[in-house]
Structure 1
Amino acid sequence: MTVTEQEITDYVARVRAALADLPPSQRDELTEDLADHLTEVAAEAEGTLVERLGEPETYAAEMRAAAGAAPGSGRNLDQRVATAVVRVRSRLHALDTRLGPPLGYATASDFLRLLRPGWWVLRGYLAAMLVTVISTGGSFGLLPRFGGELLAGLIMLVGFLLVSIWIGRRSGRLARWPRSAVQVGSAVLVVFAFAALMQAEDRMRYGDYGYDQTSVDSQYDRIRDVFVYDSEGRLVENARLFDQNGNPIRLGYPDCLQGAYVKQTLRAYPYCPEQAPFAPRAPGGPIPSEPPTAVPGVTTTPDPTSTPDPTTTPTPTGTATGGPPAGPTATGEPTPTATS
């Protein structure tokens, strides 16, 4: 069995974890050439390092004794952390080896290495979208924008793609701290990607219900339903509202409907006609209106161009039905004439 580079790395890590109680300078001195030594041992014969050299902790005790270092009096915090890290790495390595054959490779890492160029491109895109969210106050779409400007966002995207590819091609030659910074940044972008996907999925779900508020101001955020009346006071059902650009205006929450949050249908207004604030006028019924207010001393003159209501019966002027004349009638009295 050939010793892999990962096995050598894990062995060195376990040895350093066993020597974690020593001063850092002394520990680095003892393990400085350990990786090269293990590579030479692995090239001499078959077998794992544990089979040939023993457990890393035993090998570390031998190194400690050969250097005359005091044996560890106990496991300090650094040693416990280092041991935990080594244990996690060992389990990940075992999982990597187990998942490799189903993918057609010795390890899953060999398969993932083929996807690195795609990840470099995706990382640059996610970085541009993260800047978009920060610069626009949380709103974003499929394309990045810088401060709401699409052209600036596309220029930013190209720049991030080039930087991400450049870092990816040189990640193996980066020092420890720059490499750790790149790994932390990549983890942040992955978390951001999952959060953005969840938000986009919520938008699609509730967008089908028509609950998202589009083309409205904050003063409408508490509207539960919309009732539309025509010019004759009749309630309009199955009404839909649009803005000047043809975008639907969606308001309210159909709380009165059972299963409204399950059915993915876009309902028209009103959601609940039985809850209309004003009683709708029946077809052919009178139009509700307020009576005119009479002003003392002012005589209303009818409009000669108006059309009389056929349902109203006119009453002759100056004649009271079933009673005496409306006023006295002069008979036989001469009419005085003005004489010049």
Structure 2
Amino acid sequence: MALMTDVRTSGSRLVPVVAAAALATAVNVAFPLASPLLVALVIGVVVTNTRLADLSLMHGQDRVTKLLLRWGVVLLGLKLPLDAVIGIGAGGVAVVVATVLVTYYGTLAVGRRLGLEARFVTLLAAGFSICGAAAIAAVSDTVRARQRDVGLAVALVTVFGSLMIALIPWAGHVLGLDDGQTAVWAGASIHEVAQVVAAGSVLGGGAVALATTVKLGRVAMLAPMSILVARRSEAARDASTPLLPWFVVGFMIAVVVRSVGVLPDSAVAFSGIVTNVLLAAGMFGLGLGIRGRELWPVPVRALLLATLSTAVAAGTSLALIQLTA
């Protein structure tokens, strides 16, 4: 009897989570530049700062949404065929690896100089150097980040990445880059996969495929970067904390599964939809733990760090593209 009650309770807790993820996805369909992860986070913040938070359905959401978020990171690996990444060539791989490392360590160095809290700086460094909100989610447990820091990092990486959708194609034209070079620049510097697709669409032709492939090369850095984060994190000094969280290991396994080609195209396409829904559901849960006053006004030093981190990613990748041209 108690088991049935637990099952019903767990099922009821999924109702607001699924509804929020569906709403965020619908907003993204209507307005493609609106990240479903940011929309879901905002919905969570709105709910928890109103009387909706008193509803019984909203209680005990932390465990459920955190699990959904982790499974979203796992399925993210199914978007990453390694043969496609290798196909960008040694020059493209060099641009990706160097941009990720310079952006990550550069953001950490600047964040320390600005006096920002180390956990928040690590979140921002991971998100801006690798793959936006998914990377932030992947390292948040390792650094034992506060929910407000995760929320602020996700908001910043989404806003700054969105600004680059129009900026990179325009700047590429001004600088005299051809469409292929601009596509590589977009993939190596813009923060979210969806934002890279949008920027590639502005360029047209085969730019979308090239930009997305370069971006997926950055996504492939999620596992090794998670190890680096764990090694330098205070949490990693705890013997009970694994070097790699189980969901990052799952991400690596999913990459292998996708790369060996055992999944049909329909399954890969469906997994992409499920991935977005799971990540959005997790972001809704993060939003439930954030008070509005914790996100606004945005700290000036956090805005400065986000600006400089974006500039480092764009500047490093542009310099390398021009050197390898």
TM-score range, shorter chain: under 0.3
- Indicate the structure whose relative CO is greater, using CA pairs within 8 Å and at least 6 residues apart: 2
With the length of structure 2 as denominator, give the TM-score of the two structures. Answer: 0.20
- Structure with greater proportional helix content: 2
With the length of structure 1 as denominator, give the TM-score of the two structures. Answer: 0.20
